[in-house]
Structure 1
Amino acid sequence: MESPELKYSHVMRSLVSGGVAGLVTDVVLFPVDTIKTRLQSQQGFVKSGGLRAIYSGLAVVSAGSVPGAALFFLTYDTCKRHLSSHESPLSTLLSGQIVSAACGETVACLVRVPVEVVKQKTQVGHSRSSLLSAAQVFKQSGIKGFYRGFLATVCREIPFAAIQFPLWEALKQKLAKSTNSLEVTTFHSAIAGFVAGGFAAYVTTPLDVIKTRTMLKSGSFQSPVNVALKLFKEQNPIKVLFSGAGPRTFWISVGGFLFLGSYQFVSNSVLQT
């Protein structure tokens, strides 16, 4: 059993490393995320704002990225340690990573979804600022309005994480081994994050489109299934479902480099203190 001091060390490592990684990534890559959102918007790229005001919504993202990423890594790292310490089918390396990533994403979405709702409405020009967007969401739907698209987001994030994190874990270990390194370095983690993030981003783009359309939908709530069925009725459903795939893949590839590289850097630094 872990000592209280060791548990505290693990918690602080996950919180600090995850929080820093989330903030760095979201702030640096925010314009690309805006372009991706406008490409996926139902009214189209130009009517959603084109290349104007591509930092709209940055304030709410900056405020939400730290707790969201910190919660993800706290849950992910804790689940990984717990599963690896028990002999069960779930304690195998791959399944443990998948379950840990799924749990981490679900918990993080409690913070991430309200931030995403406000951010995307600001990005496509529904309001001039994040504060006005939040007020508009609350006026129209109350608290539940901030969780519009929660199910769609979880349905996107779990498959994404189930692909990205086992691939990231495997690649960074292989890179460390190939360079005869005694530990996984920031560079190993960043390169592995770039590859794993890009691959996972591209194959889960249809889920991201469904999530975006669900969040941006005004009026009565619609389930992700209904939104997906409507998308399949479009004239060119494959093209629609992969709209924004280029910016999304680029954004998350670079994001994986920054996010998982930053996480490893801070994590290694915390371990050495």
Structure 2
Amino acid sequence: MAQVEEDLTHNHMLWSAFLGGGAAGLFVDVVLFPLDTIKTRLQAEQGFKNAGGFRGIYKGLGPQVVGSAPQAALFFVTYESIKHYCEPLVAKEAMPLVYMFGASVAEVMACLVRVPMEVAKQRKQTSIVYKSSIRILLGAYKYEGFFKGVYRGFGSTIMREIPFSIIQFPILECCKSYYSKNFKNNIPLDPWEVAVCGSIAGGTSAAVTTPLDVVKTRIMLAERKSAKNESLTFTRMFRKVVKKDGVKGLFAGVVPRTLWIFLGGYIFFGSYDFAKNTIFDFLQSDVR
């Protein structure tokens, strides 16, 4: 009987992480979308003004809305599952390694949904010609292929997201643990307190990994002709950015990116914690 209740509680934890992550991801991406557009245009090779400037800052919102909830849900159900299974087996001192590993695997899962949506979103954000997201992805598939078109930049996205998460989640978990231990006598944090920890972790990670984001954006936005004439590897694009714009170019859009993820971290982790706990309590009410 105890094992049945434990299994049911674990299933409820997974469902609450899945649904809570999806709700949080959708909410934060819609609210802060203009900052993402400005960041993308600052990083575009043609320059901020030619990429659209401040005009149409909600262009590309459609694919973001479609992909936001599934990718966030996939991330958190993977991350929480790895934490759940590893915590009883790993010493407390080694838990940051679990957070890094869990976040890295979760990012790969999320990118299966994120990358095609990013390709459609960023091309809409920087294009002066209106095309639907479906037409953009169909065109990418037709002229560039599945992996080089629809999943353009998958490798560079992984190379951005994994370092980001390796920095972000240990900081997040350490902030939560430190705050709970020193200010709340080990009582679980309220959602707004989790939100503060999330904003600190997100803002720090965003600033540090901006060069990786610039390279990823340039690869996704590269012209089809350019993509065919040269191999769009991470290293080649990194060198191209440095050669053309210098080290300064690697930090294009650092202010809106850091602000976006700092604010997004507050909204995202706060709403995720609230939604997850609310859904979990609702599901557990049947068990009790």
TM-score range, shorter chain: over 0.9
Give the secondary structure class of the aligned counterpart of 2:145: helix
Give the secondary structure class of the aligned counterpart of 2:166: helix
Counterparts in 2 of 1:43-62, with a 5 A limit? 43-62=46-65
Distance 1:130 1:27 in 2: 17
Equivalent residue number for residue 80 of structure 1: 83
Equivalent residue number for residue 243 of structure 2: 233
TM-score (norm 1): 0.94
Q: Is the 8 A contact 1:18 1:73 kept in 2?
A: yes
Residue type of the alignment partner of 1:208: D
Cα offsets for 1:48-71 (capped at 9, x unmatched):
000111101101110100100000
Q: Report which of the two structures shows the higher radius of gyration computed on alpha carbons.
A: 2
Residues 102/126 of structure 1: CA separation in 2 closer, same or farther (3 Å cut): farther
Report percent identity of matched pairs.
42
Cα offsets for 1:123-167 (capped at 9, x unmatched):
001641323322332232232211100000000000000011110
> Is 1:189–2:194 an aligned residue pair?
yes
Residue type of the alignment partner of 2:105: C
Ranges in structure 1 where 5+ consecutive residues have no aligned partner: none
Q: 1:31 aligns with which of 31, 34, 37?
A: 34
Moved more, 171-180 or 45-54: 171-180
TM-score (norm 2): 0.89
Residue type of the alignment partner of 1:223: T
Distance 2:44 2:139 in 1: 18
Ranges in structure 2 where 5+ consecutive residues have no aligned partner: 283-288
Q: Is the 8 A contact 2:63 2:120 kept in 1?
A: yes
Counterparts in 2 of 1:144-163, with a 5 A limit? 144=147, 145-163=149-167
Distance 1:28 1:178 in 2: 33
Counterparts in 2 of 1:133-152, with a 5 A limit? 133-144=136-147, 145-152=149-156
Q: Is the 8 A contact 1:148 1:214 kept in 2?
A: yes
Q: Is the 8 A contact 1:127 1:133 kept in 2?
A: no
Residue type of the alignment partner of 1:114: P
Q: Is the 8 A contact 1:41 1:212 kept in 2?
A: yes
Residue type of the alignment partner of 2:269: L
Equivalent residue number for residue 10 of structure 1: 13
> Is 1:223–2:233 an aligned residue pair?
yes
